[in-house]
Structures are given as C-alpha cells and as structure tokens.
A and B are shown apart, each in its own frame.
Chain A
Amino acid sequence: DSGVTQTPKHLITATGQRVTLRCSPRSGDLSVYWYQQSLDQGLQFLIQYYNGEERAKGNILERFSAQQFPDLHSELNLSSLELGDSALYFCASSAQGISYGYTFGSGTRLTVV
C-alpha cells in the first residue's frame, strides 16, 4: 500500500457518459497529480493541484476537469466520454519541495464501451 488511494479500481461506462475518479493523497502531502496512460503508452501528465489550487496543467482535454477539496482529496471528472478515453488514470501525491518524489496510487482502469 503506497498510501495513495484511488477509487474505483475499475470502471466500465458507455460513450457520452460522465464519470468521477477519486484520489486520496498520502497523509501530509499537499500536492496531487493526475496522469493518463493509454494502452501500451507512456504516462501523460494531466493536471496538478497544490493545497486546493490548480498549479500546473498538461495535456488535459476540455471535457476533463479536476478539483482538490479542503481535506486534500482530489476528483477527476471526465465527461462526454469517447472510446479513446479508455485508459489507466493514475493519481500521485508529493510533499512540498523540489527534492521530494511522487507516490503513485494503483490507478483506475476506465473502459468506455
């Protein structure tokens, strides 16, 4: 157990639907990061939150949004889902400071049918 909890582990939904992925960071970590990994592809950085504020944005589609709540958990909302959104979605957290690494969760596998 890495200390980063992602739910659900698996999600199957239809095209056009909306889903919410949840991430609880490791205790004490203020930063949360979301990554997308499509089949046999690398990890694509989506977005970062730090203590409730959006701090960095990557290749995140307009149909996707995220937020970090006062208790520091984060949610990634995916709407108008397309087949190509099927992927593993990872959340990671880190402590403050450039010398701290990320701790990744075990991911949510999203399948859009």
Chain B
Amino acid sequence: GNSVTQMEGPVTLSEEAFLTINCTYTATGYPSLFWYVQYPGEGLQLLLKATKADDKGSNKGFEATYRKETTSFHLEKGSVQVSDSAVYFCALSNTNAGKSTFGDGTTLTVKP
C-alpha cells in the first residue's frame, strides 16, 4: 500500500536559516504529492502540490519538486521566519483514488 515517511522532528532553526524537510513515499502508479501546514491552534492548510514528475510546487516562499526517480518530495525554503513555526505534513494521493496518505508531520520552530 501507499506510505509516506517524513524526517523526524522537531526541527529548530534561527530566523533566515535555510529549511529542508525530507519526505519520501511509496505508492503504486503516479500519485499527486502535497504539503500541508498546521499553524498553532489552527486546522491543516494546503501549502503546495505537484501532480506529475519534475513538477515544482511553490507557495509563500516554500518549494518542493516531485522526484520520481528518488520517490521524494522534499520541502525547502531559503529563509525561514518566526511565523513559519508550524507542523508540516507530506501527503500523497493516487489521482483517481479517494483517500490521501499522510506522513506523521514534522514540527518546525523558528527562533528570532
């Protein structure tokens, strides 16, 4: 079956540092890949997505590239801010299937 593995947290960075959160997946076929973010006290929000190999999703300065050869979808940001402190979830969905499979989340704390 499908599975998503994220790097374990928590991750603590100083403001303006470079961020990478690793995500690898196992899936049949050609899934769509997503990153969701959950800010403190809020619900999950879609951050970015990619639907086919070599696509790059981007939003709010975050980027992730769909790498089929390494089955990865790592999240990156060049300069994090305190307001980026949140839990980040990687997820996949087979295009015509109903459900998504989520990783366990990575907690990011950015200190001033």
Interaction A to B = no
